[in-house]
């Protein structure tokens, strides 16, 4: 970390989360590779420090289960980034197994086909084959109404703090300077072009700024005079007038203690498991009372935040609306702490699908958890210029799945060429009737 903020720089990255750090590191490599400069031309500022936002508290799951097909190619780049140094990033390429009911079959088939067409290998199983596949991995699996399974091979999970530390280290190795406790407070923009930013540590002139501001993006959007509502045209011809530009959601994740090794039948670290059964209720294992009329849960081995072995998982996020109190962020914010219904439901789901989780509610680690995220009008990321020289990375809360975006953005910035994988995520899609649409899911992510 550095003390003296320069008064001018070529690339100013704002926000030291997964996107800011990945972009800064890749900018350095791209500049070096093209003989156009080096990491000395890039700085990152963060009002707190690396990993102070969602990046520092996420589950770190990396999956590619999206109806939005252009995301499949982005994910392929993200896996390349994690595999650049899986040890430094704590990346466990264990795979990702998603389970659905028969009503999701057509969606799963489409996703499977699209994933494989971009070189993201996945296997699709249906009916008895799907259930047998699950039993092979988890011998105590109880299938309920599961009828389709997609097994993504390149997916897995990254260590949360490990990923932050690893990305900081990559920046450091390439000479990128990171300035914690430097808050951007105002932008100097003339005729659509940024000339300087004002920060708590002084004014910085820059040629280009890259914003990776996570849940703080709406504040900056407002500061930059951008519209807080817009008319959205979807690819299916539907139009919605006056939609909120940003909607906050609360992400709920937690852990249970699990002292016995959480292994698959063949003694390996099992894939991340994701189950969404839209027509299957979840009941309290003790009282038999219905907790919710559908299943939406995911979990994975291990967690960085526990003093004993454990499992970390999460459930469907909760929509908050266009206004939210971002500060203090994450577990420090008392307003957004989940009630007991969250552990009741998460552990009931776990017990419902595997015998090994019997009594999981008693093993839930009681602690403050979760955080909020700002989602775009179609819940799909925006990667685009929002002024002549201000590039926005608004991931709509897909961060660990999108580490490859920094690599692609760096390529675009340094080469000046359009990058095909980023183009579907342009802001203009809302006005031009190319916003992304729905799939068979309750999830905001389609």
Ligand X SMILES: Cc1cc2nc3c(=O)[nH]c(=O)nc-3n(C[C@H](O)[C@H](O)[C@H](O)COP(=O)(O)OP(=O)(O)OC[C@H]3O[C@@H](n4cnc5c(N)ncnc54)[C@H](O)[C@@H]3O)c2cc1C
Among 42-50, 67-75, 102-110, 301-309, the segment contacting ligand X (CB under 6 A): 42-50
- Residue 348 binding ligand X, by CB under 6 A: no
- Residue 98 binding ligand X, by CB under 6 A: no
Among 48-56, 119-127, 259-267, 431-439, the segment contacting ligand X (CB under 6 A): 48-56
- Residue 216 binding ligand X, by CB under 6 A: yes
d(CA 308, CA 423): 44
Nearer of residues 55 and 347 to ligand X, judged by Cβ: 55
- Residue 351 binding ligand X, by CB under 6 A: no
d(CA 194, CA 389): 6
* Shortest distance (Å) from residue 186 CB to ligand X: 10
Q: Which residue has the tokens 């989780």?
A: 357
Q: Which of 212, 404, 406, 424 binds ligand X (CB under 6 A)?
A: 212
* Shortest distance (Å) from residue 380 CB to ligand X: 13
Judged on CB neighbours under 10 Å (0-12, 13-18, 19+), 298 is: buried
d(CA 423, CA 408): 11
Taking the mean position of all CA atoms in its chain, how far away is CA 98? 17
- Residue 184 binding ligand X, by CB under 6 A: yes
Site string for ligand X, 245-274 (x = CB under 6 A): ------x-x---------------------
d(CA 240, CA 397): 22
* Shortest distance (Å) from residue 52 CB to ligand X: 4
| 231 phi-psi bin (left φ>0, alpha ψ -120 to 50, beta other) | beta
- Residue 382 binding ligand X, by CB under 6 A: no
Q: Vertex 374, ends 345 and 403: CA angle to 5°?
A: 90
Q: 70-84 and 105-117 are packed helices; what angle lies between their axes, rounded to 10 degrees?
A: 60
- Total site size for ligand X, rule CB under 6 A: 38
- Residue 70 binding ligand X, by CB under 6 A: no
- Residue 381 binding ligand X, by CB under 6 A: no
* Shortest distance (Å) from residue 43 CB to ligand X: 12
Nearer of residues 234 and 296 to ligand X, judged by Cβ: 296
* Shortest distance (Å) from residue 231 CB to ligand X: 26
- Residue 373 binding ligand X, by CB under 6 A: yes
- Residue 65 binding ligand X, by CB under 6 A: no
d(CA 186, CA 194): 11
Is the distance from CB of 445 to CB of 379 less than 8 angstroms? yes
- Residue 133 binding ligand X, by CB under 6 A: no
Identify the CA nearest to 1 among candidates 164, 160, 171.
171
- Residue 19 binding ligand X, by CB under 6 A: yes
Nearer of residues 103 and 195 to ligand X, judged by Cβ: 195
Among 113-121, 257-265, 359-367, 393-401, the segment contacting ligand X (CB under 6 A): 393-401
d(CA 402, CA 141): 31
Among 171-179, 234-242, 358-366, 399-407, the segment contacting ligand X (CB under 6 A): 399-407
- Return all residues near 234 (Cβ < 8 A) that are at least 6 apart: 240, 378, 433, 435, 436, 437
- Residue 171 binding ligand X, by CB under 6 A: no
* Shortest distance (Å) from residue 109 CB to ligand X: 24
HSE at residue 408, side-chain half, CA atoms within 13 A, is 24
- Return all residues near 285 (Cβ < 8 A) that are at least 6 apart: 348, 351, 352, 358, 361
Among 202-210, 258-266, 395-403, 410-418, the segment contacting ligand X (CB under 6 A): 395-403
Strand partners, 247: 375
Nearer of residues 108 and 336 to ligand X, judged by Cβ: 336
Q: Which value, in Å, is the radius of gyration of the alpha carbons in the chain?
A: 22
**Residues of the shown chain interacting with ligand X in the complex, contacts defined by CB under 6 A:** 14-20, 45-48, 52-55, 57-61, 183-184, 212-216, 251, 253, 370-371, 373, 395, 397-401
């Amino acid at each position: 970390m550095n003390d003296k903020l320069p008064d001018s720089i070529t690339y100013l990255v704002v926000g030291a989360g997964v996107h800011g750090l990945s972009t800064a590191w890749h900018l350095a490599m791209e500049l070096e590779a093209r003989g156009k400069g080096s990491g000395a031309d890039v700085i990152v500022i963060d009002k707190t420090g690396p990993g102070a936002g969602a990046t520092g508290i996420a589950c770190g799951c990396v999956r590619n289960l999206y109806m939005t097909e252009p995301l499949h190619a982005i994910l392929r780049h993200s896996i390349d980034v994690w595999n650049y140094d899986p040890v430094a990033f704590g990346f466990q390429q264990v795979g990702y197994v998603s389970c659905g009911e028969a009503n999701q079959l057509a969606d799963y088939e489409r996703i499977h086909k699209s994933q494989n067409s971009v070189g993201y290998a996945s296997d699709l199983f249906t009916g008895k084959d799907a259930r047998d596949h699950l039993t092979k991995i988890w011998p105590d699996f109880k299938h309920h109404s599961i009828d389709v399974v997609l097994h993504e091979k390149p997916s897995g999970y990254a260590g949360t703090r490990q990923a932050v530390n690893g990305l900081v280290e990559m920046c450091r190795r390439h000479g990128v300077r990171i300035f914690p406790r430097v808050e951007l407070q105002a932008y100097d923009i003339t005729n659509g072009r940024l000339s300087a930013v004002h920060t708590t540590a002084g004014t910085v002139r820059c040629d280009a700024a890259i914003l990776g501001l996570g849940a703080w993006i709406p504040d900056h959007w407002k500061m930059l005079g951008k519209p807080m509502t817009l008319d959205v045209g979807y690819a299916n011809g539907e139009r919605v007038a006056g939609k909120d530009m940003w909607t906050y959601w609360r992400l709920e994740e937690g852990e249970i203690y699990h002292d016995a090794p959480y292994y698959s039948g063949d003694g390996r670290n099992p894939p991340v498991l994701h189950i969404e059964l839209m027509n299957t209720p979840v009941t309290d294992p003790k009282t038999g009372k219905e907790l919710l009329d559908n299943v939406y849960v995911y979990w994975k081995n291990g967690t960085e935040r526990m003093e004993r072995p454990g499992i970390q998982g999460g459930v469907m996020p909760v929509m908050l609306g266009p206004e939210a109190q971002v500060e203090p962020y994450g577990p420090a914010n008392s307003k957004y702490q989940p009630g007991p219904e969250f552990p009741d439901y998460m552990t009931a789901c776990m017990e419902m699908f595997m015998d090994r989780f019997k009594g999981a509610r008693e093993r839930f680690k009681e602690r403050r958890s979760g955080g909020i995220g700002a989602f775009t009008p179609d819940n799909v990321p925006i990667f685009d210029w929002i002024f002549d020289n201000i590039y926005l990375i608004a991931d709509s809360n897909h961060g660990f799945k999108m580490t490859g975006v920094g690599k692609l953005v760096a390529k675009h910035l340094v080469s000046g060429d359009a990058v095909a994988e980023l183009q579907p995520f342009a802001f203009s899609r809302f006005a031009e009737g190319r916003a992304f649409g729905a799939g068979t899911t309750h999830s905001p992510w389609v």
